[in-house]
Amino acid sequence: MTTVTSPLAGRAIALASVPDPVFSGAMVGPGTAIDPVREPSEAVSPVDGVIVSLHPHAFVVDENGHGVLTHLGIDTVQLNGEGFELLVNKGDTVTRGQSIVRWDPAAVEAAGKSPVCPVVALEATADALSELREDGEVKAGDSIFLWK
């Protein structure tokens, strides 16, 4: 069982309400999303594991074959890394709560993009997740779902 924790402080929302059909349709996997507080912050690792994919706007941490995607905002790839600072390297081993990317959700919003952050269990089935948080305030490190 893998406990996946929130990479950010904000409000948990259902993945289905994310303004992007790839995420809202769970095409990359099930999960939840965080509507982040609008202040400069650091997105942290939601699990212990290895950084297997790293971009300014998104990262995947793999814990024992469970790849967890954190996507910082919607369509933020179009910002070409502007406003994002990588704090680790691909291949690094990280611990839950370790800072991965520094960014500013308010700046993302000012650039015309949604700052909502999907947190997805890659290649999982919906029934593999339990205790899914889809509402309420969360702090970085709070449990947002369990993956069996």
DSSP per residue over 75-126, as a string?
SGGGGTTTTEEE-S-TT-EE-TT-EEEEE-HHHHHHTT-B--EEEEETT--G
Distance from C-alpha of 60 to C-alpha of 28, rounded to nearest angstrom: 12
- Model's pTM, two decimal places? 0.97
Structure tokens at 144: 């947002």
Main-chain dihedrals φ then ψ at residue 46, nearest 5 degrees = -85, -10
Counting DSSP H helices and E strands in the chain, the numbers are 2, 14
Which pLDDT value is given to residue 66? 95
Where does the pLDDT of residue 60 fall: very low under 50, low under 70, confident under 90, or very high at 90 and above?
very high
**Structural domains in the chain, sorted by start:** 2-138 (2.70.70.10)
Q: Are 68 and 146 in contact (CB under 8 A)?
A: no
Check 55, 57, 66, 71 and give the catalytic one.
71
- Asked about 71 being catalytic, the answer comes back as yes
Mean predicted confidence (pLDDT) in 44-66: 97
pLDDT single digits (tens) 41-53: 999 999 999 999 9
Structure tokens at 71: 């996507």
